[in-house]
Amino acid sequence: MEAVLFFGAALGALGGAIGVVAMRNPLYSVLALIVHLFALAVLFLLLSSAFVAAAQLVVYAGAVMVLYVFVVAYVGGGEESAWESIPGQQFLAPLLGVALFVELAIAVLASSLLALGTDGPHVSSGFGNPAAIGYLLLEKFLIPFEASSMLLMLAAVGAIVLAGRRPTGAASAGTPREREPAEAAPVGPTGDPA
């Protein structure tokens, strides 16, 4: 049963990832990434980390992907030109990617970590539940936790500065800034699990 779930989720994750790379329309790429994220959440559940799986669904599928869909709808998915700045880029790049995978696989297979071949130690049913993660976040990793909340706030301010409609002259200085709430609103939900 576990193997069936693993291979199903692994196929979903891999198919989603290949879909992101292969789809010509950016909107389909975003949809493929959503499939990929759902499959990854199943894998996280198989690794008995329920909180990370829930955070994955809420943060990515819930907030980040909505942001992506909005931006793709706003910018519009144009076709990419066939022009290559480096000759043979379309053939060289997959070759380099395969080389990277082979390198990583050699690193995993030749690793001296004996526990890699096992299912991991037996853990209690409370492993990875919100209480355990919350305890770790607020007791042991309090400073990284606060630093990440600071980072989220800085990112929100940065997004408003970057994408906000700035007055380009005295004439437009008094116009209502209707664009800013739209940019700032999706930032809020991403900060919840932190």
Partner 1 sequence: MSIEWYIVLSSLLFAVGAIGILIRRSPVVILLCLELMLNAGNLALVAFSRMVGNEQGQVFALVVMVVAACEVVVGLGLIVAIFRRKLPLDVDELRELRG
Instruction: Looking at residues 2 to 21 of the shown chain, list those that interact with partner 1 (rule: CB under 8 A).
Output: 2-3, 6, 10, 13-14, 17-18, 20-21
CB of 174 to partner 1, least distance (A): 19
Contact yes or no for 71/58 (Cβ under 8 A):
no
Judged by CB under 8 A, which of 87, 110, 123, 143 binds partner 1? Answer: 123
Distance CA 149, CA 145 (A): 6
CB 9 within 8 A of CB 41: no
156 touches partner 1 (CB under 8 A):
yes
136-170: b (≥16 Cβ within 10 Å) or e = ebeeeeeeebeeeeeebeeebeebbeeeeeeeeee
User: In the bound complex, what is the minimum distance in angstroms from residue 44's beta carbon to partner 1?
Assistant: 6
47 binds partner 1 (CB under 8 A): yes
Extract the tokens encoding 187: 């930032």
User: Which of 155, 175, 181, 185 touches partner 1 (CB under 8 A)?
Assistant: 155
Q: Least distance from C-beta 169 to partner 1, angstroms? A: 15
Is 37 an interacting residue with respect to partner 1 (CB under 8 A)?
A: yes
Q: Measure Cα distances from 113 to 37, 47, 82, 141, 171 in Å.
A: 28, 18, 45, 26, 66
- The residue count for binding partner 1 (CB under 8 A) is 95
Regarding 140 and contact with partner 1 (CB under 8 A), the answer is yes
State yes or no: residue 61 binds partner 1 (CB under 8 A).
Answer: no
Work out whether 73 is an interface residue with partner 1 (CB under 8 A).
no
Cα separation of 23 and 146, whole Å? 38
127 contacts partner 1 (rule: CB under 8 A) = yes
CA distance linking residue 133 with residue 51, whole number of Å: 7
Binding to partner 1 by CB under 8 A, coded x per residue (else -) over 163-182, reads: x-x-----------------
- The residue within the footprint of partner 1, chosen from 85, 112, 125, 143 (CB under 8 A), is 85
